[in-house]
Structures are given as structure tokens and as C-alpha cells.
Structure 1
């Protein structure tokens, strides 16, 4: 029974501690972060995010940039993110060493819609207020019910809502500062299958279980775990413009600690022997976990090369090494379970160009390289994450000086992701490779009053 507690804890750990998948079956940025706060930024592969300040997305990327946007403004953005995560089996085996039955799970990714909203206004000639609502982290992946890795993962979903009011102060003609606070809600759901045939044989004995059909991989049940929490953090930004053509930006977002609480609910197969059916290991219980979402630092530059051409670049560091372990606590008195994560800190580098075709149209492009925090030895089917290379295109259409539309598209080429993940003591070892990619579509409306 202890073995199943460990397996359940590993499932919770996988979804809470990793997520490359509401944006990659994998998040669209390394780990489980989401960069999509502005469609114009998508068109440049998010290059220059902390220095461009072309629209209200700067509320998130660098609040100091609000000093470049005057008057009352409103912006709404929508992002369609389509991750693809396809597994190929390379000899996965059960705990007994026999082949794990089942297919490859289909495409674990699916379309997800990510919205964002912003509003900003002047408080005084040098002080501005802004507020944004975004989804900075996320996960969604779902495999076919009978796939070979069902004892490690079926459905994984994590969503966030971040409410971020900020203030921006123009110190002088060259320097601006910004600061804000974040109230962030996290909701998590995950599920996986349970091999009750192996549980029965291992705890009661094959002689008793075989006659009633409880053989390894023949009698599956399932467990679904849900949890949620509010957490709080802050963001800081600075912008320096030595002249009207060039500017530099730096932005920091703090970590946000979440103390998730929720429950685990089990589905048992018909005919499960009574000692197992009433065991606390397989009965509904509360669960709790502490998860810290990472802090980040961005350094950006933006330059108007001519009256038509502009260039931008960006480096972003994320403190993913906070994910060394995830400790799961069970309300039914089971001992804590600790799952190692051992993620590494990452860098994301991006460059972009914009071309002002005429007063109504602007064209954009960008390239980026995004490191994954996942180390090969710790990759799981809930996090088939790997390094990404971005190619992005975008455009802006301004029908008047009071309104504009932005459109962006990005394709992410994801490196091959080998996996050899053991789920002791009854989940077996999942061995194979993932073929992943991500497509992002974005549209945005900007309005000045």
C-alpha cells in the first residue's frame, strides 16, 4: 500500500512541478511558463520585451514602459496555443519486466485559448497607473485512456490567473521606473491509471487474485487529484533612453509561493477485494503541496535604425532551480512523499526586426532560443519538455490614430526528448521518445481614448 502512496505522490508532483504543456503539451516557454502577454510581442518572438513598450503588454514585461504610453488606453489579446506531444514506445516494461500493454497515447497536446486584458491611465504628467490580467503559467496534456504510460499520466492541467496592478514614474527625460504587485490564482487537475491487478497480486497474492481476474494490467482503476491556491508577488522595472532612438530595459518578477490544497479521488474496478477497497491508500483523501513559481530577470534593448526599421534583442533568466523536490502531504496520515525534480536555471535569447511599411501597416519578425529546465534523467510524460527554437512573424494594422490591430504567429521547433522514467514500485518504466512542436496564433485590439 505504501507503493501506491508513492506512485500517487509522483503523479501530483509531475503536474505541480512541471508543465510544459498548456503551451507545449509543453508550455510555449521553457518549463511551464507562458510568454504570451501581447500579440505584437509574439510577432518579434518576444525580443526586446522589457524595452519595446509598444503597447500595454509592457505592464507585464516592464511596468516602467508605461511612461511611453499616454492617456487612457485599453487592450485585449487572445492567443491560440497548439502544442503537439507525440510519444513513440521503445520497449517500456512493467515492474515485473514484461512489456507494458497499450498504444502510444495519441497527440497529448490540444488547442488552448489564453486571453489577457489591460487598462492604463495618467495620474499626473509623470505618473501612470496600469492593470493587467494574464496567464503567466500553464499546462494541459491528455493521453488516450489505454496508452502504454497510463500508470504515470493520463490528464494534466494547470491554469493560472494573474492580476497585476502597476505604477510607472518618469523620473526625467531619460529614466523611468515601474513597480507592481501580483495576485495569482492557480488551479491544478491531474489523473492517472492504477494497476489494481498488480496491486492485488503484490499485496494479497496471485493465488487469490488470479481466479477473480485481478492480473497485472488487466484491472485498471484511476485517481484524480485537484488543488488550488492564491499566491502573491511583485514586479519591478527600469528603462533608460539615452536619446529618442535607443532605449534599454530591465525587469524583475518575483517568485510566488503557493500552498495548494485539494483532494484525491479514486475509481476502483468492480470486484476489488475488500482489504484493498477499504484501504486508506485507495480511499478519497485531502492532499497538500507547496509549489514556488520561479522569479525571472529580463534585459532588453530597442533601437530605431531608420525611420522605417527597428531592431530589438532580449535575454531572460528564470530561476527554475527552485524545483529541487516537491513534498506531498496526505491528510489521511500517510507519510510525506518527496519527488526529486532537479530542474536547472535557464536563459532565453531573442532578436527581432520591425518594418514600418506605411502609416497603417507595420511588419514584424523574430528568432529565439529557449532552454528547457528539464534534465533528461528527470523527464516525465507529464513534462516531455526540451529546448525550443522560435520563428515568428507579425503585423500591425492601424485604421486610425486611436485604434490598432496586431496579429502574430510563431512556430516552435522542439528538440527530440528521450524518456526513460521509472514509476516504482508498480508503474513500470516508460521508455521512448517524444516528438514535440508548438504553434501560436495571436490577435489583439488596442484602443486609445
Structure 2
């Protein structure tokens, strides 16, 4: 009915993992998270590496710890609300060497709202030491990457993705040295824990039809006749670093440069699970050949490096302005990923085609009184995806930010901050073809809002 080489080639493609490691969209570009500070959120993260009195610099630019006022602890939590609903859907089958089922609509709905509301925590600790407190030590706990989308299991785009869940959590230790009151350098080392779960449906009817060159039709196995599922899970710990310098040409101006390294996660203990319809396995003997069987696997997933230029300037005792520009090196990190299965399943080389991106923001603070501070900011946030590579796991699009914030200092050593951001987006379009030839076209309605709160205590 088929040759082993043909079946191996088709089944390798049919796993449908070609979009699985694309993860998905967060409120920052792709699955990147900036939400590490309620104070920073209120000004669209302008001044993220150069502003006074925000302990999140421990993670973003350790050199700016000299801008912190003594020993302190800060805790932040952000709630990200992201919605993604697909509209104007066209779907059709186009599988098999003779085009069996070509043009036939795929059953299922629009998948519902694939978005979520999720908390993103962060925490910081800072202590100065040394002669004249010219050295600083800090600890940070942040989540720089993460997202989750989940569609209905039987939706029309199930062959492209049903679930994507990624979390990256960093625990870092930072040190900085003040050369003088105007120049400081710092560095941090962090351990990053990455977890991934990815799932999609597999059109085993198309697998059988293609592998048998149409002979499986006699058994009722044609494209769309027998769905199964594939799930991939993995986790890894890896180490990265941040280096930076902060320069103050005047006592009212800070200019900061910081660099966060890429983090290479070599996942060696991943798990791949498959649900194969019994009639397909009986007809083709997949599991006997070691194909579509549960197994371990390995892959290298590289999270991108970033470089930031940040400037903050005090106009007077009440007004402060700031700006940021960040470049994220997606292109070398997400050009392609190879998935190596521990079974007879051939390796998959996954091509993503991500491009480098720019995030730029400007913001301001106004000290209304000794206890109340108002903030605002705007930002431009570029997506790494393009129309030719966008899929259901990454309904991502360039967006604009509008942010507001409020600070309240009821006591000299206690401060509370609140921030809110609304994202303005266009409707991203997709035109994707699964590995078994199923076509999905449409537009998304996407939206996002972020609300954050923090407490800072000096002791």
C-alpha cells in the first residue's frame, strides 16, 4: 500500500509541530513580556533602565541601582488581558497526491476566544554596601517571556494549533559599582526556568491517503476522516546575564545602556504524545514502525537578546520626562528550530522567519503633591512576525500603547503604584497551510489591556 520511506516522510510532516514552537502572542512583541513594574507600566516603560526609585532596574539595568534610595523590597503584579477571536474564516482541505478532498470545507467553529487573563508577578530586593554605599547588591524574580492560547479542540484550525502554553521565570542576582556619583556599572546573572506545552490535531486521514497514494480510500481513510492529536511538553533551566552602564552628565539627567543576553535552552527530556486512531494504525502499522509513538525528544530553543537605550531627565521638582528604545534580536534566535524525536519519527526542522524588532516609548511623571504622582506614556511596539509566517499560534501584529499611572506615598518608607495600558492594534490576517495540506485563512480581532499594582517598602 505504501513504501516505508514515503510514510516516514509524510508522517514527519504530519506531526503538525511546524507551528508548535512559535508559542504565541503576548502584550509585548510575540511572547515577550515587559510587565515587571507597575510604575514602569504607567509611563509605557519609558525610563525602564534609567529612572529614579524603581527597583525593577535590578533586572533591567543593574548599573542603575545607585538611583535607588537605600535598602528596599518591591513586589509587583500585573494582570494581562488578551483576546484573540478569528473572523472571516475560509478553510479547505487540499491533501493527497491526487488532491483528494481539495476545496472541501473543514468542519468546526472559530475556536472561541483563544486569549486569557493571566497574572505576571515580579519581586526585587536591594541593599547598598561598601564605603559611602558605592556598591549595590540586588535580587530579582521576573517573568520575561510567557503566554497561553487555547482554542476549542475541534475548531476549524485545529490542525494548526489547539493549545500553546509557555512560561519563563528568571531568578537573578545583581551587583553594581559606583565609580562616582555620575558613573556606575553593573551586571547580573540569572537562572531561567522554561516550560512549554503545545498541542494540535493531526489529520491522520490525510496521512493515510498520502502514504498509500490513495489506496486507503477503500478503507474509508481519506483526508478529514480520522483526526488524532499531538502534544509536546518540555522544560529546561539555563543561565543568562545582564550588563549595563548608567551615566549622569548632570544631577538631573540619567543615560543608561543595558544588554540582556540570549538564553539557549537545550531541552533534552521533552515528551511527545500522540493519539492515533485505531483504524489508521491497523491499516498502516504506524506504531509497529515506531512512528507516532509516545517518546522523549530534544530541541534547542533560544530566547532572544535585547539591547536598551534609556534616558530620564528631571525638568524641575515636579516634572520628569523619559524615553526608551529597545532592540530585540529575534532573527538569529527564531530563524529555525530542530526537533529530534527519540523514536523513528524523523527530525523536524521548523522555520519561523522572525525578524528583529524595535520597541520605543516616551513618558512623563508629574508630582502632584508630596504623596501623589501622576504618570503617562505612549509606545510603539513592533511585531517580529510577517504575513507569510503568521499562524494561529502567533496572531501577532504591531501595536501602539497608551499608558497611565498613579503613585501614592502614604509614609516616607512606603509607596504604592498602579499602572494601566491599553493596546491599539490592527486586525492581523493569516494564510496558513498545515503539514497535511489543510488551508486556513482569516482575520483576527485582537485586543489587550494590562493593569498592574506594586508596593515598595524601605527599611
Q: Between Structure 1 and Structure 2, how many residues are aligned?
A: 439
Out of 246, 258, 280, the position equivalent to 1:251 is: 258
Q: Which residue of 1 aligns with 2:322?
A: 312
Indicate if the aligned counterparts of 2:44 and 2:362 stay in contact, CA closer than 8 A: yes
Task: Quote the offset at 1:343 in angstroms.
Answer: 1.1
Q: Contact 2:135/2:178 (CA < 8 Å) preserved in 1?
A: yes
Secondary structure, counterpart of 1:406 in structure 2: strand
1:123 aligns with 2:129: yes
Structure-2 residue corresponding to 1:95: 94
Decide whether the 8 Å contact of 2:204 with 2:228 is kept in 1: yes
Residue pair 1:317, 1:346 contacting (<8 A) in 2 also: yes
CA distance in 1, matches of 2:52, 2:84: 34
Contact 1:413–1:436 (Cα < 8 Å) also in 2: no
- Deviation, 1:273, is 4.0
- Report SS of the residue matched to 2:317: coil
SS of the aligned residue for 2:274 comes to strand
| Aligned residue runs from structure 1 range 39-438, under 5 A | 39-96=38-95, 97=102, 98-124=104-130, 125-204=133-212, 214-261=221-268, 262-274=270-282, 275-322=285-332, 323-424=334-435, 426-438=436-448
Q: 1:64 to 1:242 in 2, by over 3 A?
A: same
Mind listing any 5+ residue stretches in structure 2 that lack a counterpart? Answer: 1-6, 96-101
User: Separation in 2 of the partners of 1:182 and 1:95?
Assistant: 47
Deviates most, 263-272 or 409-418: 263-272
Rounded Cα–Cα distance in structure 2 between residues aligned with 1:69 and 1:50: 12
Residue in structure 2 matching 1:19, options 20, 23, 39: 23
Separation of aligned partners in 1, 2:325 and 2:137: 26
CA distance in 1, matches of 2:272, 2:31: 23
In the alignment, is the contact (CA less than 8 A) between 1:152 and 1:427 conserved in 2? no
1:397, 1:405 within 8 Å by CA — same for their partners in 2?
A: yes
C-alpha contact (below 8 Å) 1:19/1:27 kept by paired residues: no
Q: Please give the alpha-carbon distance, in whole angstroms, between the structure 1 residues aligned to 2:254 and 2:370.
A: 23
SS at 2:66's partner residue?
A: helix
Counterparts of 1:422 and 1:267 in 2: how far apart (Å)?
22
What secondary structure, in the 3-state scheme, does the structure 2 residue paired with 1:242 have? strand
Q: Give the Cα–Cα distance (whole angstroms) in 1 for the partners of residues 146 and 49 of structure 2.
A: 22
The TM-score, its normalising length taken from structure 2, stands at: 0.92
Question: Structure 1 residues 315, 79: closer, same or farther in 2, change over 3 A?
Answer: same
Confirm or deny: 8 A CA contact 1:324 1:342 kept in the other structure.
Answer: yes
| Distance in 2 separating the partners of 1:281 and 1:53 | 58
Question: Bigger shift: 197-206 or 375-384?
Answer: 197-206
Once residues 42 and 344 of structure 2 are traced to their aligned partners in structure 1, the CA distance between those partners, rounded to angstroms, is 51
Partner residue of 1:23? none
In the superposition, the TM-score normalised over structure 1's length comes to 0.94
Q: CA deviation at 1:380?
A: 1.3
Distance 1:276 1:324 in 2: 31
- For 1:380 and 1:7, the matched residues in 2 are separated by 16
Question: Contact 1:195 / 1:427 at 8 angstroms: preserved in 2?
Answer: no
Preserved contact between residue 11 and residue 345 of structure 2 (Cα < 8 Å)? no
1:89 Cα deviation after fit: 4.1
- Find the aligned partners of 1:385 and 1:113 in 2 and give their Cα distance: 20
